Amino acid sequence: MYRRYPLFFSRRTTRLKDNIFFILTINPGSTSTEFGVFENTNCLWKKVIEHNTEESSKPLINQLSSRLSTLTEFLPKEPKIDAIAARGGPLKPLVGGAYLVNDTMVNDYQNGSYSNHASNLGALMAFKIANQFKIPAYIVDPVTTDEFIPEARISGVPGITRKSRSHALNIKFCVRKASEELNINAKQSQFVVAHLGSGFSIAAVKHTKIIDVNDALLGMGPFSIERAGALPLSGILDFVFTDNKSKEELEYIFSKKSGFSGLLGNRDLRSVEKRLNESEVKNIYQAMIYQIAKEIGSAYAVLDGAVDGLILTGGLTHSNIFCDALRKKTSFIQQAMIYPGSFELEALVAGVLPILNQKEKAKIYK
C-alpha cells in the first residue's frame, strides 16, 4: 500500500516567535518560468509563464531580459519582499543548503561554466531584482548538490568520476515532508527517493543527505521521457567513430531526443498510456518501469535495506497506472509515499526561512 499526497502543501507559520517574511520565489524551466510570493510558508500567489518556441529556443543568456521583464510585470513597483529564493542550476559540486547569490556565482552562470541549463537563469533573474530593491537573493540545494559517500564517486575508468547532478531541491523537500508525515526525525531518516519527471533522479538519502544518485542530466540510471540513461559503451563508440557525431550532437541526442521522445516520438505519458494496447509501446513503457525499479533496488542496497520508506515524486506520479505498475516491482519496500508533481517553490522557501529567522547562516559560493 502507499499513500498519495496532494500537489501543494500550504501551512501558515505556527511558531509565534518567528517573524513574518515575504519571499519571492523563481523557478525557470526550459519552456516556462514559475514564480510566486510567500508569506513565510503560506503561498499568497503563484503563476507559471509559458514561453513560445521562438523565445525558448534562443541561447539561455539571451532569454534573461525577456523572462525578467515578464516576471516584473506581475510585481508592484515597490513590492513588499524581504528576500528572493531562486532555483539553482549546475555549479561546481556543493554541499546542500542555501547559498547567497554573489558576483562569483553570477559569473559562473553567465558563462555557463558548468552547464547551459535553464535553471541557470534563476540566480541571474534573482540577482537583478535583488540589486534593484536592495534585498538578499539565495539559491537552495542546486542541481550539483554533492554529498556522495566516497565509493559512490568511483567509476571503473581512470580519470572519470561519477557526478552528483540531481533534482536535489525537490528530493530533500520530500524527505522532510515524509519524515513529518511519519513522525520521525528527518536527520535520522533513510529514504529511497525517485523523482520522475522529464528526467529521473533516483537517490539514496541518508540523514537528509543524498549519498548516491544517478546522474540526472547526462548518463546513468534508467531512460526517461527524453533522456537516454545508462548506455552500452559499444553503441556510444559507434556513434562517435562510425557516425562521426560531435560532442554537442551527442549531448542533444542523449538529453533531449532519447527515452520516450526518441523511441516513441512522444513526451506525454498520458498519450503513451492510451497506446498501451500497441505491443511496441507497451514494451518500451514496461522497460522504463523495469529500469526505474532496478535503480530503486540499487539505492535500497546502498542503504543496506534499512529504509523508512520509498518516496515517489515528479510529474509522472500523477498517473495511477504508472505508480501501480512501479509499486508492483518495488513492493520489497513496504512503506511508499507519493507526492505528485514537484515542490520547488515550497522547497525554496523552506531553505531560506531559517536564514531570515537567523537560525542558520547562508553559505557563500567561492
pLDDT of 30-59, one tens digit each? 778 899 999 999 999 899 988 876 665 677
Count Cβ atoms below 10 Å from residue 174 Cβ, excluding itself.
27
Mean pLDDT calculated for residue range 298-304: 98
In this structure, are residues 203 and 175 in contact, taking their beta carbons and an 8 Å threshold? no
Is 90 exceeded by the pLDDT of residue 348? yes
pLDDT exceeding 70 applies to what percent of the chain? Answer: 93
Lowest mean pLDDT among 10-14, 122-126, 256-260, 345-349: 10-14
- Per domain, the residue ranges of the chain are 2-145+345-364, 168-341
2-145+345-364 CATH choice from 3.20.20.10, 3.30.559.10, 3.90.1490.10, 3.30.420.40: 3.30.420.40
Q: Which helix (H) or strand (E) holds 293?
A: helix 279-302
pLDDT at 188 over 60: yes
Q: Report whether pLDDT(4) > 70.
A: no
E strand map for the chain: 2-4, 22-28, 32-39, 42-50, 83-87, 98-100, 137-140, 190-196, 200-206, 209-213, 309-314, 336-340, 363-364
Cβ burial of 39 (10 Å; 0-12, 13-18, 19+) is middle
Whole-number average pLDDT of the chain: 91
Instruction: Please give the average per-residue pLDDT across 100-113, as a whole number.
Output: 95
Could you tell me which of 97, 275, 225 has the C-alpha nearest to residue 172?
Answer: 97
Q: Whose grid coordinates read 515524486?
A: 313
pLDDT at 54: 67
- Determine the pLDDT at residue 18: 63
pLDDT of residue 56: 59
Residue 284: its pLDDT value, please? 98
Helices (DSSP H) in 34-119: which residue ranges? 53-56, 60-72, 103-111
Looking at residue 212, its pLDDT comes to 98
Distance CA 342, CA 195 (A): 8
- Whether residue 10 is predicted with pLDDT greater than 60 in this model: the reply is no
Average pLDDT value for residue range 283-292: 98
Mean pLDDT value of segment 157-166: 94
Domains 2-145+345-364 and 168-341 share a fold: yes
Count the residues in the chain.
366
Is 365's pLDDT higher than 90?
yes
Q: pLDDT tens digits, residue range 219-252?
A: 789 999 999 999 999 999 999 999 999 999 999 9
Place 13 in a pLDDT band, splitting at 50, 70 and 90.
very low
Which residue has 515524509 as its cell numbers? Answer: 178
**Could you confirm whether domain 168-341 is CATH 3.30.420.40?**
yes
pLDDT at 8: 37
Q: Which of 71, 67, 137 is nearest to 105 (CA)?
A: 137
Which pTM does this prediction carry?
A: 0.90
Band of residue 7 on the pLDDT scale cut at 50, 70, 90: very low
Q: State yes or no: pLDDT of 109 exceeds 50.
A: yes
**Could you tell me which residues come within 8 angstroms of residue 198 by beta carbon, excluding any fewer than 6 positions away?**
224, 225, 226, 227, 267, 315
